[in-house]
Amino acid sequence: MAETILETKELTVDFNGFKAMTDLDFSLKKGELRVILGPNGAGKTTFMDLITGKTKPTKGSVFFKGEDITGKHPHEIALLGVGRKFQGPNIFDNMTVLENIEVSVKGSNKIIQSLFHRKSKEDKEAIDNILTQIGLIDKKQYPANILSHGEKQWLEIGMLLALDPELIILDEPTTGMTADETYKTGEMVQQMLGDRTILVVEHDMEFVRQIAKTVTVLHQGRFLAEGSLNEIENNPRVQEVYLKEENMDA
């Protein structure tokens, strides 16, 4: 049985009287791909912020590989093996695609040093493998600023892979992508599994159908439901929440 890599217990955060998260118990197994769903205001981003240390909980705990990481700074959590990609691409526009990956390689903590130190054969092979995985091997000498929006998103995923995290958190990775780019991203995410564990926050249901194994649904900062996508889509409580949300948006 796979070990638990991420766990939260009674995770709660109170923003001046507004509870954005309330007593959330959650667990994720090593090697698992989990999708987090929920309507607007469900607490999805807050949950990601709590895991990665951007937000401190009012109550409760976060455990990564059995270690209590509650209250640790984001850079400390990142060093433990947790990597996060935010919605918009965050890359170095004035560098080439290759240089963006090079400065992100695990252990390259100084940009100038990472660009000019001699790469070993293993380094070069690892970098080319990442570029192939994100579909940009043929564009590695291109300036990053001429890539399409989707390609920039992929480049940031590649930069995340270069850090070699054990847990990868993707916050709406298909935002702004074409249908074709979204599908390719789904293939990419599935190929990233193996030794890695992936947590995806997403609202594009076609993308979710492509990648989802197990889905967790949040609502108003609380656990609502969990199961396969088919189970979630046929869950009366989930249907009620999303129907109310659609009526509010109409």
| pLDDT per position as a tens digit, 93-150 | 999 999 999 988 865 554 445 455 556 678 788 899 999 999 999 999 999 999 999 9
Give the model's pLDDT for residue 249: 43
The arithmetic mean of pLDDT across residues 194-211, rounded, is: 92
> Which residue from 236, 222, 164 is spatially nearest to 46, judged by alpha carbons?
222
CATH architecture observed for domain 1-81+165-250: 3-Layer(aba) Sandwich (3.40)
Q: Quick one: pLDDT at residue 27?
A: 97
Residue located via tokens 């923003």: 15
**18-22, 63-67, 114-118, 203-207: range with lowest mean pLDDT:** 114-118
Q: What is the pTM of this model?
A: 0.89
CA 133 – CA 162 distance, rounded (Å): 11
Closest among 247, 250, 248, 223 to 237, alpha carbons compared: 223
Per-domain residue ranges of the chain: 1-81+165-250, 90-164
Q: pLDDT tens digits for 152-197?
A: 999 999 999 999 999 999 999 998 899 999 999 999 999 998 779 9
For residues 23-49, give the mean pLDDT.
Answer: 94
Q: Which of 80-89, 114-123, 233-242 has the highest mean pLDDT?
A: 233-242
